[in-house]
A and B are shown apart, each in its own frame.
Chain A
């Protein structure tokens, strides 16, 4: 093995290592943003008590407006009946909650796609 291939190998290894590191950094930043924006009302750890809003652990793939121990408004239940939280629905929800459920209790709108992507990044990791 030449010096050059060793160097290339090191470089490749470094790049491979950097990718997950970056991902971890992104996730940490996303978490920080979610905590800052959403923790007034929501909790995120498995088994944590609900706040003004429901606990969000395992949100993706969950039936909308159906969590044990949390009382959803009739307006929310009617609007999302039969829906399941997926990335598309969650993105629409964060863009403008009232566009999904006109009588939702949660009033949040975020027209910045980058911010929504960060929020989704963390919320999708909660499983």
Chain B
């Protein structure tokens, strides 16, 4: 029998070593932390506005910071306890951000009971109610970009959407949070998709899963059998397929225009984690106060996946997997490709934290940057069809306007160019820098 070629996106891409060490580890619930630091800027857009004060008593799921505008999101208390202070704490960006510090009430049983909701598949709300519920529950894209979900779902009249794409790719090495979620909560995810299809009046949904998660594909295929609108597609393993634009290209062969949105080609993309959060928000009225986090690393003995309350300091996660092993050099918030190194273990878990990666001495160091040898590898692997070597030079020498003409702003910062560069050139560092300058220039012009 001839083997069918699996679909994938058309240009560029790499295949780093997968290292999915925790794919067979069931998601455990992390013990409720004694203290949570909840940042008010966990999403893209305007930070939320704090509506609690010091010494206020809060309960689980109570809104503690209200959405500060349209592109913003509510933030709920992950624990029942007392607000001890409103302080600035270093987050994963490396800078101090405003946080709400809540001390967990050790006597309140609500903090420690594990509620397993029964599956509820009937949808009782109207489409409009569903959208306001999603807004109220503070749901943001859990794939890592943390874009507020209600903004994505607020479709203007006249825009026609024909496909809902569910992102179960998880192309980052090491991370298995989405994989485990798909295996354990497949029924809920299917219901979540049905909710969105109903709310948006769409007829087709495709769940995209990379072929290295065969068990998840099997389970979801089985679950989707009685749902004619939902389809599961296995895709070739390639990074960065989890990026919205690449996923649309892989599944539907449509190209999102430059500076455009998936809406322009009639598609909405949501991560499986987001779908599960939407399911819980709609069916069980539970706001987004916890998420799945993979804690992993080559030298970590008890690496696993956890249900973690938002705001839990990362040191609690590290302690749960048996402490930092000797020779640890770097702690990364996210995957090895796009994650950010964090400064200390006090950094809280936010809505965008999909994993904590512990990197040892030998894997942590970057090679010394040499001259560009014009091999063209970066151009070959760029999934956006850019010329990273050129963009880096332009950004380094200060030709920002020219870099803008060379479409530096369409870069998705996947890091494929830096990964393949045989001269270890800091390509992405400079491209990111150039992008930030251009953004600044354009805002100052307006």
Is B truly associated with A? no
